[in-house]
Amino acid sequence: MRMFFAILVCKLGRFVGKLVGKGSSMPGKAALKICPDILRRVQLPPHIIAVTGSNGKTSTVEMIAAILRADGKHVVYNEEGSNQIEGVTTLVLTNATFGGKVKADVLLLESDERYARFSFRFFHPTQFVITNLYRDQLTRNGHPEWVYDAILPALHPDTELILNADDPLSSCFAEGRKTVKWFGLDRCALSTDAPTGVYHDGAYCPRCHAPMVYDYVHYNHIGAYRCTACGHAKPTTDYTATALDLEQGVLTLDGTVEIRLAFRSIYNVYNILAAYAACRECGVAAETVRSVINNYMLKNGRMQTFTLGRHHGTLLTSKHENSIAYDTNLRYVAASKADCTVLVIVDAVSRKYFTSETSWLWDIDFGLLAAPHVKKVLLSGRYCNDLAERFSFTEVSGWTVVPEISEAAEQLASEGGEDLYVITCFSDRDKLLNLPAVKKEA
Amino acid sequence: MDIRILHFYPDLMSLYGSYANVSVLKRALEALGNTVTVETVTPGGSAEVAGADYLYMGAGTERAQKAALADFVRYGEAVKALAEAGCPMLLAGTAMELLGKTITAADGTVYHGIGLGDFTSQQGTKRFVEDVYGHTELCPEPVVGFMNKCAVISGVETPLLTAVELGYGNEGAKTPEGFRYRNVLASQLTGPLLVKNPRLLDKVVEAVYAYRNQPLTGPVPHDAWTEQGYAITAEQLKLRV
């Protein structure tokens, strides 16, 4: 009876919430008050896939959903990104019958790294994809090992883990587990022999702290690592990107599945790999994956093109406080060939909380912009001085500080017609995109 | 003059842009006409601590900190001798805890520090996270920074920040923060605190000159960016006090 009542309250709350434009966590919260173990009582679908990690969660989940739906499966997932237990409860109950049966083949959950253990207290995923663990929102998360320790209790022994073989830290989740599937990228044209970036999180083994060596590296400390003491090393992969040509935008999976990349970023490659591995584990044929992911344009708006004056602009959304996300986008700009201007905006460090913390700027490899085709760099937003100080320690020339974002846009609108890349976060992107001079492309 | 900086474990103790504390000091000393050499110390390597003009170690994870400590104890007596002689040092983030008597990990394991300071660190399973706005006796300007730690530090009698108006100090919210002994500075404020606080950088440069018995004739040069960046952060944080 309590379950019925909780489901009713949740459905009604969600209905009213949608009418008044409220978020999706309140109805779940109310339901949990009525029936705290409601998630244990409901009848969940046969496949429950969870995705967590520092980077790529949203994109990976979106692609998994698209593939599974193309395969004819009814997928329920937290599209609105509400990934704590209250949001998960709302999602589950609004898609359940009053008898408590969730009407879906697959429950797909983007899961917050720190809260996964709470979400999965009453049920556990059949598959758990962990994309990676990097320095991300350290103001909130402390450091990657702290996040590792927070995720660990969320991993039920019966859950199959789908792990990134190329990440030395998140691969440690496999320790002592029976069912693990690995995805990873073989050596390819973009691989280097040694780690890149301004800090080196792969220098020491996350298990024993002995020095690690690399056979090859794809970016930062992601690649084929090997501990010199304890044997921790990149494992043999089950789902493999066997060839990658980012310049041509072609990715080959398991030697046969060829995919054209709509967005030629190494990030996109790893997200595709994770989605491919998860869907194959759910019995989807490789050809179905290929047909969906080929030239797949993400709908989550992380990349937006626009015009500003005579400039054609690309907004590369990078999470503030996430140096690897920044580095990836900076590398994308560095790899572009045509003359360009780059606008970097740091105005609000986070949209969720206030902080003046800018240490993370020092973890970003802004020196990647020291390329002949990068003609000009504008630094803008409240923390433009901190950015400028950081740039003063790089080899990048031609950077100037324009504190007001609108002034930077006016300056760009009035002169030049070279490509424009804007590197900023969700918290700041609309401060540019909503200016009248900026015309968004579909 | 020729100045020799020892940077302990830059790859192991590297969280939150810690390295920038060395970069900004090196640049300031060079702008004053000095030749600066930065030697990195790696675990298991050999370093000549005697004769150094400045020692630095940045923040690391709690596990990295234990690995650093296992190596750093070899240098304990030499570091203490240098500290007594007035050699300037900065130990930032979790590196600060290495200077104390003991570090008790969250699982209860006790590790012995080098004992330069008479304090103990108790690590836990909760992190203390907040912007920090406080005051030091070294300079009249407020110190700005960010705290992200999991340890409560007890027994510090000579803190770096004698008053904290916003955020966490050694023993909790708004308690004194860090540790100071002669020219040794230690603080759990994360990241490049010498970049964020130009006046603290001045004090470190002055300490290097004093240790070498050289007169510092002019002001320490700073970028306009540093001064303006500091002013904005200080203003933002003061609003929250």
pLDDT of residue A80 exceeding 80, the answer is no
Cα–Cα dist A50/A48, whole Å: 7
Residues of B with CB under 8 A from a CB of A: 11-12, 14-17, 19-20, 23, 27, 43, 61-64, 67, 127, 129, 131, 144, 146, 148, 150, 190-192, 195-196, 223, 225-226, 228-229, 232-233, 236-237, 240
Residue B133 phi/psi, 5° resolution?
-135, 115
| Structural domain includes residue A183 | yes
Return d(Cα A295, Cα A139) in angstroms, integer: 36
Q: Does A229 touch chain B (CB under 8 A)?
A: no
Q: Tell me which residue of A149, A116, A138 sits closest to A48, measured CA to CA.
A: A116
pLDDT reading at A300 higher than 70: no
The total of structural domains in chain B comes to 1
Please, what's the b/e burial string for B129-144 (b: 16 or more CB within 10 A of its CB; e: otherwise)?
A: bbbbbbbbebeebbbb
In tens, the pLDDT along A430-440 reads 999 999 999 99
Residues sharing a CB contact under 8 Å with residue A94, sequence separation 6 or more, in sequence order? A10, A11, A14, A27
* Cα–Cα distance list, B54 to A429, B177, B190, B210 (Å): 42, 22, 19, 12
How close does chain A come to B193, measured CA to CA in Å?
9
What SS3 class is residue B146?
Answer: strand
Calpha distance A231→A364 (Å, rounded): 30
Range of the structural domain that residue A311 is part of: 303-440
Tell whether the model's pLDDT for residue A301 goes beyond 80. Answer: no
CA distance A70 to A394: 47
Distances A259 to A189, A250, A252, A276, A287 between C-alpha atoms, Å: 17, 6, 6, 11, 10
pLDDT 10s digits, A303-334: 789 999 999 999 998 888 899 989 999 999 99
Is the Cβ of A105 closer than 8 Å to some Cβ of chain B?
A: no
Residues 336-365 of A with CB under 8 A from B: 354-363
CATH of the domain at B13: 3.40.50.880
Are the beta carbons of A389 and B146 separated by less than 8 Å? no
Ranking A346-350, A410-414, B168-172 by mean pLDDT, the lowest is: A346-350
pLDDT for the residue A303: 76
**Backbone dihedral angles phi then psi of residue B184, each to the nearest 5 degrees:** -90, 125
Q: How high does pLDDT run on average in chain A?
A: 93
Domain presence at residue A17: yes
Q: A9 pLDDT band (50/70/90 cuts)?
A: confident
Angle value at C-alpha A412, between A410 and A417, nearest 5 degrees: 140
Whether residue A186 is found in the same domain as residue A264: yes
Contact B191 A357 (CB under 8 A): yes
Residue A334 and residue A276 share a domain: no
Same domain, yes or no: A216 and A254? yes
Residue A139: what pLDDT?
Answer: 78
CB contact under 8 A, B15 and A389: no
Q: Hey, are the CB atoms on B146 and A359 less than 8 Å from each other?
A: yes
Assess if residue A342 is contained within a domain.
yes
Same domain, yes or no: A258 and A327:
no
User: What is the structure's pLDDT at A355?
Assistant: 77
Residue A350, pLDDT > 90, answer no
pLDDT at B190: 85
Calculate mean pLDDT across residues A90-109.
94
Residue A81: which H helix or E strand, with range?
Answer: none
Query: Is A204's CB within 8 Å of B148's CB?
Result: no
* DSSP-assigned letter for residue A353: S
Mark whether A193 and A310 lie in a shared domain: no
**pLDDT score of A302:** 67
- Cα B216 versus chain centre, distance: 22
Could you tell me the CATH number of the domain that includes residue A135?
3.40.1190.10
Phi, psi of A4 (to 5 degrees): -60, -45
Question: What share of chain A has pLDDT > 70, as a percent?
Answer: 98
More confident residue, A350 or B29: B29
Q: What is the pLDDT of residue B88?
A: 98
- A123 to each of A22, A39, A108, A154, how far by Cα in Å? 27, 7, 13, 10
Are both A204 and A82 inside the same structural domain? yes
What's the CA gap between A4 and A10, in Å, rounded?
Answer: 10
Q: What single-letter DSSP state applies at residue A98?
A: T
Torsion sign (Cα): A133, A139, A142, A143: positive
Q: Indicate the residue of B62, B131, B228 with minimum beta-carbon distance to A356.
A: B131
Q: Which residues have a Cβ under 8 Å from the Cβ of A23 and sit 6 or more positions away?
A: A17, A80, A82
Contact of A214 with chain B, judged by CB distance below 8 Å, is answered with: no
Helix (H) or strand (E) run with residue A58 in it: helix A57-70
Last residue of a domain, one of A293, A313, A339: A293
What pLDDT sits at residue A1? 78
Of A245, A270, A293, which marks where a domain is finished? A293
Q: Which residues, at least 6 apart from A80, have a Cβ–Cβ distance to it below 8 Å?
A: A23, A24, A87
Same domain, A244 and A379: no
Check pLDDT > 90 for residue A17.
no
What does the pLDDT look like over A224-252, one tens digit per residue?
999 999 999 999 999 999 999 999 999 99
pLDDT exceeds cutoff 90 at A141: no
In a mutational test of the A interface, the residue from B71, B125, B232 whose CB has the highest number of chain A CBs within 10 Å is B232
CA pair distance A380, B183, nearest whole angstrom: 38
Could you list the residue range(s) of the whole structural domain that residue B179 is in?
2-238
Residues A392 and A259 in one domain: no
Provide the pLDDT confidence category of residue A142 given band limits of 50, 70 and 90.
confident
Is there a single domain that holds both residue A28 and residue A98?
yes
> Which of A293, A323, A344 lies at the terminal end of a domain, its last residue?
A293
Asked whether residue A298 is assigned to any structural domain, the reply reads: no
Report the distance separating Cα A225 and Cα A242, nearest Å: 18
C-beta of residue A86 within 8 angstroms of C-beta of residue A46: no
pLDDT above 90 for A15: no
The set of residues, in sequence order, having a beta carbon less than 8 Å from that of A305 and lying 6+ positions away, is: A312, A313, A314, A315, A440, A441
Per-residue pLDDT of chain B (241 residues; tens, 9 = 90+): 999 999 999 999 999 999 999 999 999 999 999 999 999 999 999 999 999 999 999 999 999 999 999 999 999 999 999 999 999 999 999 999 999 999 999 999 999 999 999 999 999 999 998 899 999 999 999 999 999 999 999 999 999 999 999 999 999 999 999 999 999 999 999 879 999 999 999 999 999 999 999 999 889 999 899 999 999 899 989 998 8
**Terminal-residue alpha carbon distance, chain B:** 42
Asked whether A274 and A49 are in contact (CB, 8 A), the reply is no
Tally of domains in chain A: 2
Mean pLDDT estimate for chain B: 96
pLDDT of residue B191: 79
- Read off the tokens for A162: 């789908």
Q: Tell me what pLDDT residue B38 has.
A: 98
Greater model confidence, A350 or B177: B177
Q: Both A363 and A219 in a single domain? A: no
Beta bridge partners of A106: A47, A75
CB atoms within 10 A of CB A301: 12
Q: How is B77-117 classified by DSSP, letter by letter?
A: HHHHHHHHTT--EEEEGGGGGGGSSEEE-TTS-EEE---SS
The distance from CA B181 to its chain's CA centroid, rounded to whole angstroms, is 12
Read off the pLDDT of residues A210-224 as tens digits, 9 standing for 90 and up: 999 999 999 999 999
Residue A297 has a pLDDT of: 85
Please give the Cα distance from B131 to B124 (Å, whole number): 20
| A307 & A288 share domain | no
Q: Concatenate the DSSP letters of all residues of A99-145 into one string.
A: TSBB--SEEEEE--TTTHHHHTTS---SEEEE-------HHHH--HH
The answer to whether residues A331 and A246 belong to one domain is no
What's the pLDDT tens digit per position in A356-382? Answer: 788 999 999 999 999 999 999 999 999
Q: How far apart are CA A339 and CA A398, in angstroms?
A: 13
SS3 assignment, position A365: coil
Average pLDDT over residues A330-340: 93
Residue A70 has pLDDT above 90, yes or no: yes
